[in-house]
Amino acid sequence: MVKPLNMKEKAPRRLKRQDLPKVTPALARYLIGKTLVHDWKGTRLAGRIVETEAYLVGDAAAHSFRGETPRNRSLFLERGHAYVYFIYGNHFMLNMSGGPHGTGEGVLLRAAEPLEGIDKMRMLRGTEPLRDLARGPGRLAEAFAIDRSLDGVDFCGGADLWLGSAVRSVGAIATSVRIGITKDAHRPLRFYERGNQFVSGTKAMRR
DNA sequence: AACATGATGATCT
DNA sequence: GATCATCATGTTC
């Protein structure tokens, strides 16, 4: 993948909670093109978010559907907090909470295009291909050194894990049904940058 | 029992 | 290169 010379990348600046849309599907769409940053052990791990999914109130696929539990507690924090959970015996998933405190909505970060700290990401992932470093939610979490210790962290609170502004322009954003769920599977709550090679799944899923 | 997945290897193009 | 089936894995309520 060759980067055109006229695509100048700027350094990301920290986004404030004020910048985040208050309605969760709008937040999921807003996050496409923004920069996910984890300043980790002296290295900056940064990537451009290219795929997200929203999980809402009254949504049978949402972890909050049956109310607050010890696991999903941070999903109920005010918009802009990290909700990290462990799934399938192997993978962490990174979400950003949405809505006012007590709501229980969130956005799953499903894929990112690596920008900075790529060698460290390769080390964390134990694999070489750039395209596979953060293509999929489990891979993204591994590439960005996300684990339970980051559950509940405020993305807008000056922590090492934060949300940055876009470093270059964003392409067309497309919508589809969410991936890998069985309940409320028809709702169009997945957002991705159309045609981007770092979006998860098959070719059809990035068209 | 179910789960917001990914690595692997087979089989196609 | 793309796509598909198979299956390993720990936590949750």
What class is the A17-202 domain? alpha beta
How many whole angstroms from its chain centre is CA A80?
11
What is the pTM for the complete model shown? 0.96
The secondary structure of residue A177, as a DSSP letter, is P
Q: What are the sequence ranges of the domains in chain A?
A: 17-202
What pLDDT, in 10s, does the model give residues A21-71? Answer: 999 999 999 999 999 999 999 999 999 999 999 999 999 999 999 999 999
| CA atom of A69 to C1′ atom of C13, Å | 9
pLDDT band at residue A2, thresholds of 50, 70 and 90? very low
Residue A7 has a pLDDT of 55
Residue A6 confidence (pLDDT) above 60:
no
How many whole angstroms from its chain centre is CA A142?
12
Residue A71 has a pLDDT of 97
Q: How far apart are CA A151 and CA A144, in angstroms?
A: 14
| Closest nucleotide relative to residue A61's CA, C1' based | B4
| CA atom of A33 to C1′ atom of B3, Å | 29
Judge if the beta carbon of A189 is closer than 7 A to nucleic acid strand B.
no
| CA atom of A18 to C1′ atom of B8, Å | 45
Chain A 175-204 residues in 7 Å CB range of strand C: 202-204
Q: What is the mean pLDDT of residues A157-178?
A: 97
